[in-house]
Structure formats: structure tokens, C-alpha cells
């Protein structure tokens, strides 16, 4: 299935340890890909396993981290494509 193949290509390095939040920064045609709909190895949509957020620049990523309080610690990963 194409969706599962794309998941393995982009997120296979996670070894099934999907973080709570995935922040994606893309460019060009790949920005049209709805990453939320990729199928994980255990046959769930990515959106069912993690919050997916898109940012346009790395500056947006830094701003988000600084603005968060220390009350909740979440595991997150930034993917730049």
C-alpha cells in the first residue's frame, strides 16, 4: 500500500516509537502530501498515533518551544523534507 510505503520512507527510522507530536517542515511538491493519512506499521493512520503539525520555517519550531510551559513535557520530533 502506497500510504504504508511512504510512512516507512519518511518515518521508518522511528522504529515504531512514534512521538506524541510530529512537526513537519516541507517545501515544494511534498508539501501537498497529507502526512496524517500515512499508515503506521500497526495499521493506524498517523493522526491516530500522533499530533501532526506543519510549520513553514525552523523559527516557528523554536518559537513554539519557548512559548510552552514546563507543566507538560511531550515527546516531539521535527521532520524537515
pTM attached to this predicted model: 0.70
Q: What angle do CA 76, 80, 81 make, to 5 degrees?
A: 140
In tens digits, the chain (81 residues) has pLDDT values of 899 999 998 888 887 788 888 888 877 788 889 999 999 999 999 999 999 988 876 655 555 544 454 444 455 555 655
CA gap 64, 81 in Å, rounded: 19
Amino acid at each position: 500500500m502506497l500510504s504504508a510505503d511512504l510512512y516507512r520512507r519518511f518515518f521508518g527510522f522511528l522504529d515504531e516509537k512514534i512521538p506524541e507530536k510530529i512537526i513537519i517542515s516541507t517545501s515544494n511538491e511534498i508539501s501537498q502530501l497529507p502526512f496524517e493519512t500515512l499508515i503506521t506499521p500497526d495499521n493506524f493512520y498517523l493522526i491516530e498515533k500522533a499530533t501532526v503539525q506543519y510549520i513553514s520555517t525552523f523559527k516557528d519550531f523554536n518559537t513554539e518551544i519557548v512559548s510552552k510551559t514546563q507543566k507538560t513535557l511531550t515527546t516531539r520530533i521535527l521532520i524537515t523534507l
